[in-house]
Amino acid sequence: MGRGRVEVKRIENKINRQVTFSKRRNGLLKKAYELSVLCDAEIALIIFSSRGKLYEFGSAGTSKTVERYQHHYGFGQDIGRETQMQSWCQEVTKLKVKFESLQRTQRQLLGEDLGPLNLKELLNLEKQLEGALAQTRQRRTQLMVEQVEDLRKKERQLGDINKQLKLKLEAELWSSSNGGATTSGTSNFHLHYAQPNSIDHCEPPEPVLQIGYQYVQAESSSIPKSNTASETNFIQGWVL
C-alpha cells in the first residue's frame, strides 16, 4: 500500500521538525549533486536552518555561481552605477565648496566680507591687490605705447599722402601755366590790312597777313581826321 499525501505545513513538534529538516536537506543536496553530474548543470544550493546554520552546495563553487547569477540579472551593473553616483555626488560637493570659496575671495577682493579675516590674511589680501594693480598699470602703459606708435604710423602715412598731393598740385599748376603762355603767344598772330594809297580809291583793300604787333599808320597827314577815323573803322571791320 502506497504512502499517503503529506500535508505541507509547518511541523509544530520541534523534534519531528528537526528530523524532517535533516532528512530532506540531505535528499535535496543529493538530488542537486546528481542533477549537476547527470545533466552537466551548474548548480548552487544554499540552505539556512532555523538556527541560522548554513548548508551549501556548488557544482562550480557557490561564490562563482552567485556572481554569475548577479551578472545575469545586472546586479553588478547596479552596484557600479551606485558607486559612480556616489563618486559624482562627492565631486559635486567638492565643486560646490570650491565655488563658495571663490565667491568669498571675490567679495574680499572687492573690499566686502572682510570681518572674518585676521591680520595675516588682510596683509596677504593687500599684497594680492598691489600685485594686481601693478600688472594693470603695466598693461595700461603697454596699450598706450602701442596707441602712440599707431598714431605715429598714421601721421607718417598722412605726411606721405600730403607730399604726393603737393607734387601733383605743383605739376598741374606748371602744366596750366605753360598752356596759358602758349595760348598768349599764339594770340599775337593778327591779320592786318594795308591802307589804300588814296581815300578816293573805291576798291576794298586786299588782306595782308602780318605777324607781330604792328601798327599801320596813315602815310599822308593831310587826310582829315574824320576820314582817318572812318578808314580805321573800315579796316577794323575786316580784321579777322
- For the cut 80, the answer to whether the pLDDT of residue 89 exceeds it is yes
- For the cut 90, the answer to whether the pLDDT of residue 161 exceeds it is yes
Instruction: Pick the closest to residue 43 from 32, 27, 51 (CA basis).
Output: 32
| Burial of residue 219 (number of CB atoms within 10 Å: 0-12, 13-18, 19+) | exposed
Tell me, rounded to whole angstroms, the distance of Cα 146 from its chain centroid. Answer: 23
Rounded distance between C-alpha atoms, residue 109 and residue 131, angstroms: 12
pLDDT tens-place string over residues 164-186: 999 999 888 888 887 655 544 44
pLDDT of residue 238: 43
Strands 207-211, 189-193: pairing kind:
antiparallel
pLDDT of residue 78: 60
Q: What angle separates helix 62-72 from helix 75-109, to the nearest 10 degrees?
A: 70
Do 32 and 57 contact (CB within 8 A), yes or no? yes
pLDDT of residue 187: 44
Q: How far apart are the first and last CA of the chain?
A: 169
The amino acid at residue 235 is I
Lookup: cell for 136: 594693470
Q: Which residue's C-alpha cell is 592786318? A: 192
